[in-house]
Amino acid sequence: MQAPRDFWHFEKDISGCGVFGVIDRARRLIPGSEPIAAMCTMHDRGNGLGGGFAAYGIYPDRADWYAFHLMCDDRDALERAEGVIKQFHDIRHSEPIPTRKVASVKNPPVVWRFFVTPKANRPAWATGDEADYMVGTVMHINTKVPGVFVFSSGKDMGAFKGVGFPEDIADFFRLDEYHAHMWTGHNRFPTNTPGWWGGAHPFTLLDWAIVHNGEISSYGINKRYLCQHGYECTLMTDTEVVAYLIDLLIRKHGLTKREASWVFAPPFWDEVDRMPEAEREAFKALRMVYGSALLNGPFAILVTDSHGMMGLNDRVKLRPLVVAEKGDRVFMSSEESSIREVCRDLDRVWAPKAGQPVIVDYLPQGDAA
């Protein structure tokens, strides 16, 4: 049979896991059906042991409140978590996360969301700013409250993830009913870590969300480094360290996203040696200070927050990453086919170089093209 004239020919690059992201820089809303369709195109990159999405701009009426998404073993665990949250925060609204029954999603946990603000009178031990206080709450619940994990904790955003293919998880969480101005999606093919609800991507903290294709072989070193700064890794998946490292380097230490990318995927030493002196000394300083935050192993990651999206490959590009533009929208994905599924007429398509970040920020309010 002859293919139709508009048939697109793409070669699959099967390298485990699929990532997708789309941002409308003018903050126009994108229906959930688009990232779901894009992830369906990469169905064969996963094995049904993990799928998930992150969406920004989904709670406009509660945008000033932190949205805690919880997964709990049972109602007793949920009650324990609620008791802890009430100690440290004012609960503005509480409800089950809307779901529907999906035959392929087996034994889901209790999923709940609390919209909270930190109490005005905080405990004497609480040091740092409001963001530190929120991080402390997340770490406390995830390490001290049995049977409960906070899997999303930002403002006007949320993560939705679990065991299943992405389209199954999207159906379970009714993501076709949501609209957001930025989405990421993930299809998981776990290799050396378990496939379980908390271990699915995205990994989040505050408004950071990370999806990742590859393997962080420096996980042990990264984890020990994070423990020294008050971050506890409890979700048994290597990607968790990326979310906490991003928070540490950018929010707490004040690095830019570009500088953080140089920590994660630094130039090789022979390249550093050829740099002008000032640049050479800067890269040496980053390696000396943040050597334990370097990410070893093959990876392509998408990092999102309330300011925009960043895509980054490892230093030798062992995992695929494609970027495309159409007007104010920017797409990043493991495969061009997933982008073409939702936007065939693109202005520009390219593959970033190894270790070179692609950073896309929202336009200033009122500057839509």
Tokens of 316: 């030798």
Of 233, 161, 227, which Cα lies nearest the Cα of 198? 161
- The yes-or-no answer on residue 233 being catalytic is no
Q: Which of 17, 72, 227, 343 is catalytic?
A: 17
In what order do the strands lie in the sheet containing 329-333? 157-162, 51-56, 182-187, 18-24, 329-333, 322-326, 348-350
Up-side HSE of residue 252: CA atoms within 13 Å toward CB?
18
Please tell me the distance from the alpha carbon of residue 177 to that of residue 170, in angstroms, as a whole number. Answer: 10
Tokens of 66: 């932190």
Tokens of 176: 């076709």
Query: Which residue is it, tokens 């960043």?
Result: 310
31 φ/ψ sector (left φ>0, alpha ψ -120 to 50, else beta):
beta
Identity at 333, one-letter amino acid code = S
**DSSP H stretches of helix in 63-149:** 75-88, 130-144
Cα–Cα distances (Å) from 209 to 33, 165, 287, 308, in that order, read 20, 19, 25, 11
Of 216, 347, 234, 351, which Cα lies nearest the Cα of 292? 216
The catalytic residue positions are 17
